[in-house]
Amino acid sequence: MTGQSAATQAALASAVAIALIGCSVVPAGQAPPETVRNTADMQPARSQPPVPEIRLAVPATPARPEAFVFDGALEQGGWLRGEAPGGAVSARLDDQELVLDREGRFFAAFDRDSGPVATLSATLADGRTIESPLTVAPRDWNIERVNVARRAGGASESFMRIRRPELAQIVAARAVDAPSDGWRQNFIWPVAGRISGRFGSQRIYRGEPGSYHSGIDIATGESGTPFVAPADGVVTLATDRPFSLEGYLLIIDHGMGLNSAFLHMSDIAVREGDRVRQGQYIGNIGSSGRATGPHLHWSLKWRDARLDPLLFTGPMP
């Protein structure tokens, strides 16, 4: 390229440099070259993170026991709560059919005069039977022997005309199967006071036994003292007038056939069908009905078995 001026050579070098960078002028008859991008000016490509697989957490089903599991007060007037063996379709305490909830849990109890042994039994879906023998501890009841004859004759017909409708209401209230889990709770005392009458105490009249005391009496010294529900439940009876023996009477169903009755009240603060909670105010102590002074008679029943409230609460605080 001799003979060209320095200026001409500089112009040609500049043109070649521009062409190398990316000239848009294409000689005739040639296809345009691929576009070349300056990678130094580009953002690096971002790879998309993998979409995580969504798995819903399914709560693990607790393993059911292979035998009966239970606790409670295994003695006369006592109770037990437990869980039936896995696969059980039915369960019994001796000859009494038990109700099992969805988790196989149940409640059962022993009457004041229950014998020394009992048996829990479960029938499984495959037809097998699982049994658990129980020892029921005897109680040393407060028995008073008096050297007088028991009063002869029963109640008069005039009294029974009043009494029969009252008994019918009590039986109907205790037959209600209320949807409550109160039976699963640790019961509390409905009121603090002096225990003036204990469950199971009895008089023997010249060898003939009288009726035993079916509940526990709590004396506070004055009428009108408020008391609370010992456990959750549903009100199945709240009398609007005093009954001949019980006075104003309140019955609360705690579920599984377990119910509380409160007698001799001066006032009832709830109505039939109400759902009450443990510790809720439900009424006031009085001396209505056949009572010698203001006190609260609290009794517990499971089906036909009469139970000792003291075994549900522990000692009076």
Assess contact for 79 and 274: CB atoms under 8 A: no
Q: Which residues contact 117 (CB under 8 A, 6 or more apart)?
A: 133, 134, 135, 136
**Domain parsing of the chain, residue ranges:** 69-135, 143-313
Reported confidence tier of residue 154, pLDDT bands at 50, 70, 90: confident
* Res 32 pLDDT > 90: no
| pLDDT value at residue 13 | 41
Predicted confidence (pLDDT) per residue in 209-250, tens digit: 999 999 999 999 899 999 999 999 999 999 999 999 999 999
* Res 22 pLDDT > 60: no
* Res 296 pLDDT > 70: yes
Q: Give the pLDDT mean for 104-112.
A: 98
What is the rounded distance in angstroms from the CA atom of residue 312 to the CA atom of residue 152?
A: 37
CATH architecture of 69-135: Sandwich (2.60)
State both tokens at 255.
Answer: 């579920």
What is the rounded distance in angstroms from the CA atom of residue 107 to the CA atom of residue 307?
A: 13
Reported confidence tier of residue 63, pLDDT bands at 50, 70, 90: confident
The residue among 90 and 36 whose pLDDT is bigger is 90
What is the rounded distance in angstroms from the CA atom of residue 315 to the CA atom of residue 282?
A: 22
Q: Which residues contact 264 (CB under 8 A, 6 or more apart)?
A: 246, 247, 248, 285, 286, 287, 288, 289, 291, 294, 295, 296, 297
What is the rounded distance in angstroms from the CA atom of residue 312 to the CA atom of residue 299?
A: 11
3-state SS, one letter per residue, for 21-82: HHCCCCCCCCCCCCCCCCHHHCCCCCCCCCCCCCCCCCCCCCCCCCCCEEEEECECCCEEEE
205 beta partners: 146, 208
CATH for the stretch 143-313: 2.70.70.10
* Res 192 pLDDT > 80: yes
Q: Give the pLDDT mean for 289-303.
A: 96
| pLDDT value at residue 75 | 98
